[in-house]
Amino acid sequence: MHRLRDARAPGRGVVNRSTFQVDGVLPTQTYQVTRTDLVRYAGASGDFNPIHWSDRVATSVGLTGVIAHGMFTMALAARALDTWAGASGRVRELGCKFTKPVVVPDDDEGVTVVVDGTVTSLTDDAVHITLEVTCGDKKVLGVPKAVLAR
Amino acid sequence: MPVDPSLAGRTFPPTEVYEVSQEKIAEFAKATGSTFDGHAAPATFPIVVALPAMNALMADPDAGIALHQVVHGEQRFTCTRPVVPGDRLTAELTVETLRQIGGADIIGTRTEITDPEGAHVCTAYATLVHRGEES
């Protein structure tokens, strides 16, 4: 996984407990995704569906090329949540629809996935966040939202 | 071939115990670019534990599911706590709903991930879209 400018500096983008605010817009997280990332994710997750690594198979089922695992894109959303929370292990709920495929070309640049988030409500023990996950001008996840433990 | 309508409501046998290692979480975290503090696994890691249960559903000869016709439509996790190294987890999948929309079968599944004492760790809800041959 390559990290672009937004995600590179340690601690950047962290929103600690005291600064989560309702209607607070969270710092944009930007991730570059290449074919190498998809192969690595296939191995780590155990999902070896060939549409995630073979153009031949991907095009045979009507895709324009190899696409990222939906669960990989969802994992990027989870990664952004960890960054905003400043720690892992705080996510209690995370859900989304897989609405548009993330097509990943066979080159060194790959594609860029952007994760934005807004705090929608705060309770004594939970932070509710709605996300927006885009690739180019397309929302690739439908109604992504999360609940974090405070 | 359509999906077997009697699939709705069916609960599959729990999976073999999955022993969660530090190395497996680290591998998954690296693959998603996530930071692993040695304790909490990334929020989507439970999919690794749920996958054998989902595969058992899709491989079941009575279910009538053709793997190449399946698309992952929706995913949701509801967790009591994060998965941590040393966890011994089982996954039990239930087909909650089965609907037909425009020639596709929409299969709503719920997979309960629990520890050896039966305590809840995470519920993974997956919606699988099984497209008909024509579409």
Could you read off the pLDDT of A63-73 as tens digits, one per residue? 999 999 999 99
| Contacts with B13 (C-beta within 8 Å, 6 or more apart), sequence order | B56, B92
Rounded CA-CA distance B2/B107 in Å is 12
Per DSSP (E only), the strands in B48-87 are 70-79
One digit per residue, the tens of pLDDT, for chain B of length 135 reads: 678 888 999 999 999 999 999 999 999 999 999 999 999 999 999 999 999 999 999 999 888 888 778 889 999 999 999 999 999 999 999 999 999 998 899 999 999 999 999 999 999 999 999 987 654
In this complex, do A1 and B32 lie within 8 Å of one another by their Cβ atoms? yes
Q: Which one is predicted more confidently, A110 or B61?
A: A110
Rounded CA-CA distance A65/B110 in Å is 31
CA-nearest residue to A99 within chain B is B73
Residues of B in contact with A128 (CB under 8 A): none
ipTM value: 0.94
Predicted pLDDT of residue B103: 86
In this complex, do A96 and B75 lie within 8 Å of one another by their Cβ atoms? yes
- Cβ atoms within 10 Å, residue B68: 11
Q: Domain limits of chain B? A: 6-131
The CATH superfamily of B6-131 is: Hotdog Thioesterase (3.10.129.10)
- Cβ atoms within 10 Å, residue A43: 13
Question: What is the CATH architecture assignment of A2-9+16-33+68-149?
Answer: Roll (3.10)
The token duo for A133 is: 């996950």
In this complex, do A98 and B41 lie within 8 Å of one another by their Cβ atoms? no
Rounded CA-CA distance B86/B21 in Å is 6
Distance from CA of A31 to the nearest CA of B (A): 9
